[in-house]
Structures are given as C-alpha cells and as structure tokens.
Structure 1
C-alpha cells in the first residue's frame, strides 16, 4: 500500500493540474469550437468526396453505388493537351502574383511605418483595407468598366495619341491586368500581419540605431526587415500552398473565350468540366491533383527553408 501511494498521489496531482488548466482556459477552448466545427463540416467531412475521382460517378447511383474506375480519370487528364496549357497558365499567373504581389504588403508596411503623422497613417491603412471586402463580382465589374474602350485607361491612351485597346480581350495584356488588380485588392489586407509584427519590435533597437547615427532607411533595412524575416518566411511557406490557386473568383469574372489560351486555369477548367459538362469524376480528379501538388510544395518549401535558415523559421 505504501509503495503504491506515491504513484497514486502522482496521478491524482497530474489530473488536478489538468483539470485546473481546463477550467482556466475554458473560455478560450469554447471560442475554438465554432472554428473547429467550421473546418470539420466544410473542410474535413467533404474530403470523403475525393473517392469520386476514382469512380465512374453517376448521379442516379450515388457515390457508393457508382463503379470504381481506378486511375482512368487521371490518365485522361494527362493525355489531354489542353490540360498542360491549363497547368502552364496556372503556374505562370500564380508565379507573377507571387513575384510582384508577395513583396507588396511588406513594402507597404515598411513605408507606412516610417510615416510620423499617426492620423494620416490610420486613414491610409483603412483605405488600403477596403478593396479586400469588395467581392470580385463587384470589383470585376469595376475593372471591366475601367479598362473598357470608354474607360479611364483608354482615355489616357487617346490623350497621348494612341489607339484604344480592349485589354481584357487581348492576350498580351490580360495577365498584367490580373496581377495589377490582384495586388490592388489584397496588398492592404495582407499588410496587417506585418504591421502587427513591426509593433512587436523592441523600440530600444531603434533608439540605439539613432544614437549611432542611422537614418530611417538604414533602420528599416537593418532592424525592421530582419525582425520581419521569420514572419515573411512563414507567410511564404503558406503562400506556396496556393501556388496552383491562381484566383478563381477573379479570373472567372474577368476572362472570356478570346483569352482562354492565357487565362484558363485549373479551377476554371474543373468548373467547366464539372458543373457545365457534368463530368464530375474528371473534375474531382483534377482538383485532387491540384491539392496533392500543393501539399508537396508546402512540404518541400518547409524543408528547404529549414535546410537554409534553420528550424526556427519553419512551420514544423
């Protein structure tokens, strides 16, 4: 009895500590419930539907009643020449958005952080957030009007003696319009996390730099930017999971058959095949392929960052 008493007391003590922690964080745990239910209902339970990619799905027979087709849908996708055009467009558009769009909120946060007038800074931040809350259905209409023959862009071109160009129907300009409007819509909202990270930097570092004679540019490059490096790396890793997500809402509301060769991406292709042509198994296979590539890119990027800069800058 005496030999087991300490062991029992140890278990009782651990249980008491766990119960105390649960009671202490009960409110925070309850706040997690809506988010967990959201991901469970709309992200994890629908994953059962990926089996459609391996079946010859018929609506009348349902998922369980439809026969298995193995990798038939994947073989069909890889044998379709247009599928490679779609992949090329997706990668190129995503790469352009990553190349020009990813640094935009970082530069915006660095520049606005140097503004001394607090009220002006708040106004600029608020205005920069607004496009994020405008859906692409509305914003797409604004962009179409902006780049129309009678829009402001072609008015400027006419003033300089040029001929008007319908950029949304011209393959030479369509991707540039996509990248520019995506940056306009997202850079303000994307800068929030960088403003939060800048707010957490120790001000004594800036004071020491000022004493040493460092100007604003030197302080931004030598203090602010290096302190933002961990956040930037983590955001880059997370962004890699969307490298095959070129922006369905944006492209769907802006593209047209004249620019399919440069604008048709995996999501719009899967949409047409699945909902328009009712080829559900084929469109599911395309979506599963996209998800598998995205997962592989996240894992590869995480390990690459770990190999280059150490584990402290990675997700796991």
Structure 2
C-alpha cells in the first residue's frame, strides 16, 4: 500500500523516518549492548520450546522428536495417576511456601537494618559478608552445611552434646531436613536480595525524613510511615515473581543435600524430573511433568498479578 493510499503525506513519512533514524543514532549503542542478552535468551529459552511436543509423544531416541509416535495425553494421564507425583507436588508447594514465608520479608528487614547503620566502613564489611554466599555454588554451600551438621564432627552437634543432648542427624531426619533447607536458603539469598531494597531506599526523597524529624518522628516512625510505603512497588513486583516461582523449590540446593532417607519430604518436581528423565530415560514423560509445572507457574504469575492490582496500582503489567 502506498503512503498516499494509507493517508500519509510524503512529508509526514519522511519526518517519521527521520525521527526513527534519530532514535537509532541516539540509542544504537544501547541496542547493541542489549543484543547479546536477547540472542542468548532466544537461543536458550525460546528456540528449545519446540521440544515440548515430546510431552505428547512416545519419544524414542533413535527416531528423534519428529519421528517418534504421537500418543496424545497418555503421558499426562500417567502423571496424574502416579501416587508419587502428588507427594512431590505437596513437597514442592510446602518448601516453596516456606521459602516465601521466611525468604520474602528477610531481605526487606536486612535492608532496613543496613540503612540504619551509621558507620560506613562497618556497613560495607557486613554487606559484603552477607552477599558472599550468593556467589558460591550449592556444591560448595552444601559441603559447608554437611560439615556443620554432621552428627560425628559437626559444630552444631558438638554444641548439642556439650549441653548433654544427643547428636541429631539433621540431613537424614525428615523432621529436620525441611528446616535445614529453609535456613540454608536464607543464608544464601538474603544478602543479595537486600540489594534491590537498598537501591529503592536510596531513591527515597530525603526531604521526607527531614520533615518527619522536625515533626518529632523517631527512626521507627520514619521506617513505618516513609520507608516501608515507598518500598511497596518493589515489594509487589518481587512478591508476584516469587509466587510465580513456587513450582521451582530449588533443585540445586535439594539435589546436593537430600538422600533417600528424606525423599518423603524433600523430593520435589525438579528432582523427580531428573530421575525420570535422565536416569530412567523417560524423556516424553519428564517433558510432560516440566510442561505441567511451567503452565502452573504461568497461571500463578498472571493470577497473582491480577489479584494484587485489584488492591493497588502496582504490578508487572
């Protein structure tokens, strides 16, 4: 269709093209910086999505994805009829729920405490120490936890026996294993999670604090009536994202800490997929489990965003 037929004069078309070129000249360097990240996202997240058709096939390695026969919803029927699936779904929801219950408010509290530190040098040292676990893999962190909680040589059991107690097998006891997961998750994530809230606190207009001080407000009042309300937009977005990640209970952490003695409380969807897919080579069935998990996660994100926006103006979109 020509510009005249579309109702656009040649002058307006040239002006629009000129503005577009101007934007490319002004922001072209930033687009160039963004390109590798977008390319990586496409290659590792979107292009592999064609593999979800394995969930509807009896996948055989020798036939490939397209050559394997279609079986419809048989993998999903097998999934929902498996008694172990409902156990791992329960475990996933419980562990993720505890992570949110304790892990969501912890970075907020830590950021508020950091913000109240007056000694700059001490503040930087404490912040650095709190960030360090985030940069360690769960292989290293799990090794540290195993040594600390060992019933024969662990520091924690040494203190327990020192006061006359009996050593506790924290990592082999279903009653204590979930607690270990929650505590170690907090240790690994709380410092890094506080960075976002510290950045949000730094953006609050300091005139509000000065006015509150003149009106006689103490530090607690300033936190309650200025800092926390100013953090609501950030808190809302992060809460929605956390709820969307409920189906991811932390594969790396659990895989490096669990053992058959605690499967009843520690076996989650991701570890189940690992065993069924990579060890038992049931690729179609494991793909069906992963697809179910991702669909539920999408519903949770959309649903949580909708509910949150009913109560305030903030959300992901």
Q: With structure 2 as the length reference, what TM-score do the two structures score? A: 0.97
Instruction: Report the counterpart of residue 227 of structure 2 in structure 1.
Output: 224
Cα distance in 2 between the residues matched to 1:8 and 1:62: 53
Q: Which runs of 5+ in 2 are unaligned?
A: none
Cα distance in 1 between the residues matched to 2:117 and 2:140: 32
Q: 2:237 aligns with which of 234, 247, 262?
A: 234
Q: 2:187 aligns with which of 161, 168, 184?
A: 184
Query: Is 1:281 aligned to residue 284 of structure 2?
Result: yes
Q: Which runs of 5+ in 1 are unaligned?
A: none
Cα distance in 2 between the residues matched to 1:133 and 1:45: 29
Instruction: Report the counterpart of residue 155 of structure 1 in structure 2.
Output: 158
Query: Is 1:63 aligned to residue 65 of structure 2?
Result: yes
Cα distance in 1 between the residues matched to 2:116 and 2:225: 14
Instruction: Report the counterpart of residue 316 of structure 2 in structure 1.
Output: 315
1:68 is paired with a residue whose SS is: coil
Q: 2:262 aligns with which of 255, 259, 262?
A: 259
- RMSD of aligned Cα (Å): 1.3
Query: Is 1:166 aligned to residue 135 of structure 2?
Result: no
Deviation at 1:190, TM superposition (A): 0.7
Deviation digits for residues 28-83 of structure 1 (CA, Å, limit 9, x no counterpart): 00011011011001000111111100000000000010010111000001001110
Cα distance in 1 between the residues matched to 2:210 and 2:119: 19
Q: Segments of 4+ in structure 1 off by > 3 A? A: 3-6
Instruction: Report the counterpart of residue 305 of structure 1 in structure 2.
Output: 308
Deviation at 1:6, TM superposition (A): 8.1
Instruction: Report the counterpart of residue 87 of structure 2 in structure 1.
Output: 85
Matches within 5 A, 1:19-98: 19-98=21-100
Deviation at 1:175, TM superposition (A): 0.2
Query: Is 1:209 aligned to residue 229 of structure 2?
Result: no
Q: With structure 1 as the length reference, what TM-score do the two structures score? A: 0.97
Deviation at 1:7, TM superposition (A): 1.7
Of residues 111-120 and 248-257 in structure 1, the stretch that sits farther from structure 2 once superposed is: 111-120
